[in-house]
Amino acid sequence: MSPLLPKTWVEVSRAALRHNALQIRQALGPKMVLMAVVKSNAYGHGIAQTVRAVRGQASWFGVDALQEALEVLKVAPRSKILVLGMTLPTWMSTAVRRGVRISVSSPEAARTVPRGAIIHLEVETGLTRQGVGERDLPTTLRLLKKRGARMEGMFTHYADIEDTTDHTYARSQLTRFRRSLQIAERVLGAPVKFPHTACSAAALLFPETHFALARVGISLYGHWPSKETLVSARGAKRVLALRPALTWKTTVAQVKSVKAGTPISYGLTERMRRAGKIAVLPVGYWDGYDRGLSSVGEVLVRGRRAKIMGRICMNMCMVDVSGIPGVRAGDEVVLLGQQALRPGSGQGRGEITAEELAGKISTINYEVLTRINPTLPRILV
């Protein structure tokens, strides 16, 4: 019996992921370690699929939780993995047994670390999130040493490196981080082996943030962290040819003719301006297609744009296909990504970007990608 075909699914381009990883690798230089950040279902792309595609370029993987680390190990059992988020004390022994690196971000967390744990200490430099402050740093380091932990790395996160072209604050954080490294060397009697601060924006813009390792997330998937980052990269002549790796697809469930003035969807919030055709799509906000796209979003049908009509439902939405000839049930629809026009039309292809969708719902491309429901199939193509 043939497997059930999905009605909504995500295609992930192996070639695009490998291309982006290679571009980033070359930008970082031969001495830098590349950590592919695959937390949050690899930014919506699927952990297993992404790891399979980039493990030849990335020797480390960054995750948010131990459960994600175990998913990586199924695909790449010899890889080095760092849990960037909190690890509950009850999970730490499993992390030690599986060789997974643990982040520690407070003196309290340091007190729960088991002997033999490989630790990367997160320090607070100005994000005001997780991280050990400079005042508590010596005490925390001594606690880790006393408990028999292996202090392998130290890291921080930048607070304002993506959303601006003025990187004064980021440079002040870098100064604080260097000071923390000096404190660590005095307490431990040796330099930290793997200091790291570089996210995608820092990795692409500022070589001085590289240290030993770069944690690259959004750019690995073919997206610039922000418009400001791209502007800064152009100014520094450090623009990479990134390729978006994800295409989100669904299928036309039904096509119906409707009269002018017919209300569409819940709340009667929008009506047909003229007689035409509506296509019903089996995808909604449960799938991660944001309700904020109601009446403003667009999808691709036969390579042409079709507007969302009325409110997006939990599992369905409707689009106006009046101007697209020949649409029928079973036609493939692109919610995010590219789609060619009808074969033989010679008119190229249409595209819906994560950045476009983010702009319509006042958010960022990160959220558009990561909120695609993780239960939807991810197919590596």
Residue 307 and residue 290: Cα distance in Å, rounded? 14
> Would you state the pLDDT for residue 341?
82
Count other C-beta atoms under 10 Å from residue 255's C-beta.
16
Q: What is the largest CA-CA distance in the chain?
A: 79
Say whether 139 sits in a helix, a strand or coil.
helix
* Closest among 144, 142, 137 to 114, alpha carbons compared: 144
Q: Which ranges constitute the DSSP H helices of the chain?
A: 14-28, 39-43, 47-54, 66-75, 89-98, 107-110, 137-146, 168-188, 200-205, 227-235, 354-360, 365-370
> Would you state the pLDDT for residue 342?
65
334 token code pair = 């692109």
Output DSSP code: residue 221: G
Residue 319 and residue 278: Cα distance in Å, rounded? 6
20 token code pair = 């982006």
Residue 126 and residue 73: Cα distance in Å, rounded? 33
Residue 76 and residue 24: Cα distance in Å, rounded? 21
Helix H or strand E segment including 378: strand 378-380
Backbone angles phi, psi at 82, to 5 degrees: -115, 125
Sign of the alpha-carbon torsion through 279, 285, 291, 293:
negative
Walk along the chain (381 residues) and give the pLDDT tens digit of each residue: 346 779 999 999 999 999 999 999 999 988 899 999 999 999 999 999 999 999 999 989 999 999 999 999 999 999 999 999 999 999 999 999 999 999 999 999 999 999 999 999 999 999 999 999 999 999 999 999 999 999 999 999 999 999 999 999 999 999 999 999 999 999 999 999 999 999 999 999 999 999 999 999 999 999 999 999 999 999 988 889 999 999 999 999 999 999 999 999 999 999 999 999 999 999 999 999 999 999 999 999 999 999 999 999 999 999 999 999 999 999 999 999 999 886 545 466 899 999 999 999 999 999 999 999 999 999 999
Say whether 228 sits in a helix, a strand or coil.
helix
Residue 93 and residue 106: Cα distance in Å, rounded? 18
Where residue 366 falls (left for φ over 0; alpha for ψ -120 to 50; beta otherwise) is: alpha
> Which active-site residues does the annotation give?
39, 266
* Closest among 350, 352, 319 to 337, alpha carbons compared: 352
> Would you state the pLDDT for residue 31?
87
Indicate yes or no: pTM above 0.85. Answer: yes
